[in-house]
Chain A
Amino acid sequence: MPQPLVAIRNLSVVFPGPLRAVDDVSLDIAAGETLGVVGESGSGKSTLAKTIVDLHRPTSGQVMFEGQSSRVLDRLWFRRQAQLVFQDAASSLSPRLTVRQLLEEPLNIHGLAIEEHWAGVRHLLGAIGLPAQVLDKYPHQVSGGQARRIAIARALVLKPRLLIADEPTAGLDVSIQGDLLNLLRELQQSFGLTYLIVSHNLNVIRRVTDRVAVMYLGKLVEIGPTKSLFSRPAHPYTAALIGANPVIDPRRRRPRIILRGEIPSPLRPPPGCRFHTRCGFVRDRCRAEVPPMARIAEGRETACHFPFVAASEEGSAAMPDDAGI
């Protein structure tokens, strides 16, 4: 296997509290792939994204970019490799600068001559579908969809290799979310980007990603190729998430797994498997022992003592229909 673009090793991010927002997460992002991260509130998915771009310091473990820790890399060099598009794109634009100034800002920061690089920026604007008229507007004068495109354009001005999008479709109407997802795909092809897409929207994740990582209360609980993970989830939490996703066509509905209870506070995570308080298949071992990530099939790993997909890969103990409560 070639060296991954990003290698995350035993990464933990602990905030005062102590709140273990990200707890011992290891995963790789291969160059050119689209990795999705799904999870609910408190899962640590946004913290993971921000730690990769060095907005949070790892408490332990590391994020390595092409084999080198991001904390020892040259700061500006690293910034040109990985960029983040924030969930709330409109408020990620400095309010007193015009769109033109906002787009010049990355060039100025990196000491790149504007005359020399502006043609590239104009090309980028065309690719992103931003009319030249927005250049002289202020962030509060553009629509939500345009603000998102401006944020994407800013992130791409530096020609990064990894683009992280935190909830790229949050707050967008269904009738225009397709445009944005198509755009991300086109940009990936024309700029050779690697994506990390963080979202709670399973439809989006299923559609645009190659692989998915599922997080729960700071822990990575399952990772694998999107298609296989969605069709045969191994972790009961993954199965519940997929089952909870509403489906329009009544003939396509699976029996819903309705998890009991609330998501525990990340300040007081349960011992053993963090999911055991809500799991329909909980056994004594789950309450005592933290399940490690283990390989269950080609490219698939899960942190569950009793996964649905058996390690032998044969015929997998399919998910029972009356799963859960």
Chain B
Amino acid sequence: MSTIFGHIWRSSTGKFGLILAVAIIGSAVFAPWLTGDPNRIDVLNRFAGPSWQHWMGTDHLGRDLFSRILHGARIAMEVAAAVTAIALSLGTVLGVAAGYGPRQVERPILILFDILYSFPNLIFALALVAILGPGLENVVIIVAMTVMPHFGRIARAQVLRLKHAPFLEAERVLGASTARIVFRHVIPNIAGPLIVVAGMEVPAVITIEAGLSFLGLGARPPLASWGTLLHDGYTYLSQSAWPVFFAGMMLTTATLAFTLFGEALRDAIDPRLRTDP
């Protein structure tokens, strides 16, 4: 573990991404202590520019933007963590079942992956929202479903690589049950690439959540998601550009930070997964 960290720290972009990502996660976790109530309305102070009192100004209801953006980070991180956890575990279970199980199990799982994979993420999410209705919980489920096949396919490919490895046969000869082989010997050996994919998926999840919230399908007002901040800011762009500027910058920074961190993590754990030219 320390060697992985050291590897990331030695790469300048990795170090940059790591510091930023830690800062974002930290501000998300400590948002309630760092700032005031994100929903406190102060109509007399609408569309204020940055000042000592409101570092990033205020929005159309006079709410403190800095506070809302930090609370937005909270939502973004919660959604990213929940989505990654669900997609990672479900994808791993299905991928391992497809790779290690008999054909009758493998076929339907692969078809499911193909179906989920064949829709563009956002379109698919829109369709599901139409069925399930808007709301953050639904965003989590929907986004998890759209990224789950990434994990599933990687898990299956890794399992196929290992399936006939002598060490798994050796465990069978010792009498280990299939469940024991899968949980104790297969999954620990495919975890590396899956963690890498998880790291790479975080920025994508942040963007999709913001996009859905922007469209009014995710976080509902008055919740301060970066997507709703952007949406509100966009509506009142003629009055003040600050909300759009800060929310957009935050979204960009977060995406960049987690992308750089994810790439460094990939290089540290498994350089063979590198896809750049």
Identify the A interface with B (CB < 8 A).
Answer: 50, 53-55, 75-76, 79-80, 83-84, 86, 88, 91-96, 105-106, 109-110, 151, 154-155, 158
Contacts and interface: CB of A to CB of B under 8 A. Distances in A.
A76 B174 CA distance: 8
Contacts of B167: 91-95
Interface residues of B, number: 17
Contact of B170 (A76, A93, A96, A158): A93
A94 B184 CA distance: 9
Contact of B174 (A50, A79, A96): A79
A7 B153 CA distance: 44
Contact of B185 (A75, A79, A94, A155): A94
B175 A110 contact: yes
B56 to A, nearest CB: 47
B171 interface: yes
In this complex, which of B172, B175, B176 has the most chain A Cβ atoms within 10 angstroms of its Cβ?
A: B175
B169 interface: yes
15 contacts: A53-B173, A55-B173, A79-B173, A83-B173, A84-B170, A91-B165, A91-B167, A92-B169, A94-B167, A105-B174, A106-B175, A109-B174, A109-B180, A110-B175, A154-B174
Given A95-B167, A95-B189, A109-B180, A84 B173 contact: yes
Given A95-B189, A96-B189, A109-B180, A55 B175 contact: no
Contacts of B165: 91
B55 to A, nearest CB: 47
B174 A92 contact: no
A158 B166 contact: no
Given A96-B188, A96-B189, A91 B173 contact: no
A160 B72 CA distance: 62
Interface of B: 165-167, 169-177, 180, 184-185, 188-189
Contacts of A154: 170, 174
A-B pairs with the 8 shortest C-beta distances?
A79-B175, A92-B166, A92-B170, A96-B188, A94-B167, A91-B166, A106-B174, A86-B166
Given A94-B189, A109-B180, A154-B170, 14 more contacts: A53-B173, A55-B169, A79-B174, A79-B175, A84-B173, A92-B167, A93-B167, A93-B170, A95-B189, A96-B188, A105-B174, A109-B171, A109-B177, A154-B174
A109 B170 contact: no
B172 A158 contact: no
Given A86-B166, A94-B167, A95-B189, A109 B173 contact: no
A76 B175 contact: yes
B52 to A, nearest CB: 54
Nearest to B177: A109
A100 to B, nearest CB: 15
Nearest to B174: A106
A275 B177 CA distance: 41
B189 A109 contact: no
A75 B175 contact: yes
B118 to A, nearest CB: 31
Nearest to A84: B173
Contacts of A158: 174-175
A83 B174 contact: yes
A105 B171 contact: yes
Contacts of B176: 105, 109
A268 to B, nearest CB: 24
B23 to A, nearest CB: 33
Contacts of B189: 94-96
In this complex, which of B173, B176, B177, B184 has the most chain A Cβ atoms within 10 angstroms of its Cβ?
A: B173
A147 to B, nearest CB: 11
A88 B164 CA distance: 13
A93 B177 CA distance: 17
